Structure formats: structure tokens, C-alpha cells
């Protein structure tokens, strides 16, 4: 039973709970950002630049069998080895766009945080300083 209580202590530490919450929120946030990129930004970029889907760019590394269409899916189903660099390019472009969006979001959040007024109370005067001031004031009163 000692190992179970030790595991419970480990699992209930703040760092583990914070990490779990961060992973869950991160996964959800990742889906939101992925949707923003795929559903909102990429169609606009594709409209402006043209077709931005490189996923069908590939080089067949061996001769395809007769009658197999020269498409990536058909060649993969036929077992032909292909160097599919187009899918990598598409994922790379999506990553760059996604990284830029996240950078802009973090930048905006940092700007908002910097603008928030800091309402820290002034630090309390240490007791020895207060005592020394009282002594000083009483000495001044005696001299006057």
C-alpha cells in the first residue's frame, strides 16, 4: 500500500496537475489553431497565391505496374515506392503559417499584459526602521 500512497502524493502535486491541465488545454487549443489555419487562412492564401496544396507532388522510385494511374494514392496502393515531397512541403507551409499566427497571438497577449496597471502595495517599513525613526523624532523633540 506504500507505493499507492506514494503515487497519490506524486499525482496530486501541483506540477503534475498543472502539466495535465496544460496538455489538455494545449490539445484543444491546437485543434482550434489548426481549424483557423485550415478553414480560414489557407483558403484566403490559396485564393490569393493560387493552389497551395503540394500533396500530390512526388517522384516514383520504381516503374509503376501497367494500368495504375500516375497519382500518389494509386501508386501507394499498388505498392510502388514514392518520394512524396509534396506532402512535406504542404505540412511545412502550414507549420510556418501556424507558427506565425501563434507568434502574433502571444505578442498580442504580452502587449495586453504590459498595459495592465500594476497595483502592488508599497512594501511595509521594517520594524527596526520604524523604531529608529521614533528614536530620531524623540531626540529632535528634546533638542527643540
Shared-domain flag, residues 45 and 58: no
Question: Who contacts 41 (Cβ-Cβ below 8 Å, separation ≥6)?
Answer: 97, 101
Residue 75 lies in a domain: yes
Shared-domain flag, residues 42 and 60: no
Q: What is the pTM of this model?
A: 0.49
Range of the domain at 22: 1-49
Q: How far, CA to CA in Å, does 32 sit from each of 7, 36, 40, 74, 84?
A: 34, 6, 11, 32, 28
What confidence tens digit (pLDDT) does each residue in 33-63 have?
778 777 887 777 777 777 666 777 888 888 8
How many distinct structural domains can be found in the chain?
Answer: 2
Amino acid at each position: 500500500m506504500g507505493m499507492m500512497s506514494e503515487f497519490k502524493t506524486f499525482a496530486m502535486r501541483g506540477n503534475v496537475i498543472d502539466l495535465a491541465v496544460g496538455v489538455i488545454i494545449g490539445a484543444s487549443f491546437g485543434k482550434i489553431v489548426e481549424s483557423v489555419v485550415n478553414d480560414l487562412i489557407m483558403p484566403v492564401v490559396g485564393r490569393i497565391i493560387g493552389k497551395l496544396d503540394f500533396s500530390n507532388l512526388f517522384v516514383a522510385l520504381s516503374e509503376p505496374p501497367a494500368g495504375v494511374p500516375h497519382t500518389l494514392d494509386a501508386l501507394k496502393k499498388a505498392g510502388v515506392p514514392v518520394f512524396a515531397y509534396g506532402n512535406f512541403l504542404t505540412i511545412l507551409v502550414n507549420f510556418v503559417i501556424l507558427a506565425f499566427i501563434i507568434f502574433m497571438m502571444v505578442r498580442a497577449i504580452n502587449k495586453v499584459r504590459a498595459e495592465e496597471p500594476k497595483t502592488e502595495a508599497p512594501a511595509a517599513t521594517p520594524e527596526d526602521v520604524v523604531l529608529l525613526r521614533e528614536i530620531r523624532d524623540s531626540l529632535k523633540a528634546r533638542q527643540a
